[in-house]
Structure 1
């Protein structure tokens, strides 16, 4: 019995080692795709805006015996929203430099396709973007519309540069090609002042307009090297 027990343990160890060798320790890839982003604020309805993203991705195997990976990278992502404030309208198109930190677990389906869910967090830094504000000034312009553009993240901008939130996705890998669908939502109030407001009235604007938070659906295609 002892010999049989140790023989089984030896076979299990060899099998475990063989399985471990099937998992790549380091994976590198590129991704690109479509964003459909939006924003939320209590009492206001926002419309979605279409943008894009491009990214470099790195995955690191966390366990030798299981396909559990840490995924990170660097992404350029254009987001934004459209808003109607009574007779006024605003369009924002922020461009972010984004770093996700996620974990995923891979399921191989008959050595043909690999499916895996991913969940984690992201940090985004606003690097550029414009805000276009259109409003009706009945006194000065006699009912005509007027528009002005400003930097979203400038001194008089309406948004903070930093955003932080949660991100999750579902991915399919076929050979070296990758297809992903996911969503991310921010935890941070990114409103610096009310849209179209005066920087000098910052506190009143925030207290009366509420918290502005981001959201983004994304669809990606990519390639692993």
Structure 2
């Protein structure tokens, strides 16, 4: 091995150790506005959007200091949608909400543009993988001015990412695994973060058959979040 190669490997090792030494961990959370696609082209109905939240932890791992970072995380996040039948002035009308909650793992690559000694603008993209853990379906029925509420826990099938032959499938259940992609923009000021993100689910959320007739329902989530890196 030549002296030049040795020096190159040494420089790479020093750079890697320096970058890893700058790894920061933090907390992040905020507001979600979620909905579910209404057709196979991915269209959504803004009137069906549902408010929720996200909260979790992230790590910021510099690949190129102050320019490019890998930013994985683990979040508890809510998704879902709402439906309405009839107008509030009608004698009889209904409202239905489904509000599944997931443990979600985003794996984002973040490009940064320094705008000061301790401030940067950033944009990021990356996949996410999610596992359904909780949630409720609620139905509000109004007849003659009197509203009755019924609710039930969301039922999940026992699917895995590698098995489509789950015997526990059913059209009254949701698929437990979800995956998709995120895009985000934001600003980092000292240790504080503020970001806007849009998550696009690639997997149908309804359990049951795999034919194209029921592939239209997929998660969509817009989020506004704040965070702090220690």
TM-based fold match above 0.5: yes
Task: Look up the match of 2:74.
Answer: 74
Q: Match for residue 198 of structure 1? A: none
Distance 2:151 2:212 in 1: 24
Q: CA deviation at 1:113?
A: 1.7
Query: Is 1:222 equivalent to 2:224 in the alignment?
Result: no
CA distance 1:111–1:145, change in 2 (3 Å): closer
Distance 1:79 1:221 in 2: 18
CA distance in 1, matches of 2:134, 2:195: 26
RMSD: 3.3
Are residue 97 (structure 1) and residue 98 (structure 2) matched?
no
CA contact (8 A) 1:126 1:153 kept: no
What does residue range 13-28 of structure 1 map to in structure 2 within 5 Å?
Answer: 25-28=22-25
By how many angstroms is 1:22 displaced? 8.9
User: Structure 1 residue aligned with 2:130, among 100, 121, 124?
Assistant: 124
CA change 1:23–1:174 in 2 (3 A) is: farther
Aligned length: 192
- Which deviations, in whole Å up to 9, do the C-alpha atoms of 1:181-214 show, x marking residues without a partner? 111010011012xxxxxxxxx559x765552111
Unaligned runs of 5+ in 2: 1-10, 87-92, 158-169
Question: Which deviations, in whole Å up to 9, do the C-alpha atoms of 1:43-96 show, x marking residues without a partner?
Answer: 9846111001111001212246x7211110100001221023677542011111
TM-score scaled by structure 1? 0.72
Determine helix, strand or coil for the equivalent of 2:204.
coil
Q: Which of the two has higher C-alpha Rg? A: 1
Q: CA deviation at 1:171?
A: 1.8
Q: Equivalents in 2 of 1:24, 1:104: separation in Å?
A: 18
> Aligned ranges for residues 134-153 of structure 1 at < 5 Å?
148-153=150-155
Distance 1:184 1:92, change over 3 A: same
CA shift in 2, pair 1:38/1:55, >3 Å:
same
When residues 40 and 101 of structure 1 are mapped into structure 2, their CA distance, relative to the original with a 3 A threshold, is same
1:115 is aligned to 2:117: no
Unaligned runs of 5+ in 1: 1-13, 193-201
1:212 aligned partner = 217
Match in the other structure for 1:181: 196
Query: What CA distance in whole angstroms lies between the structure 2 residues aligned with 1:93 and 1:83?
Result: 12
Aligned to 1:37: 34
3-state SS of the aligned residue for 2:198?
strand
| Residue 169 of structure 1, CA deviation | 0.6
Distance 2:52 2:173 in 1: 19
User: What is the distance in 1 between the residues matched to 2:18 and 2:67?
Assistant: 11
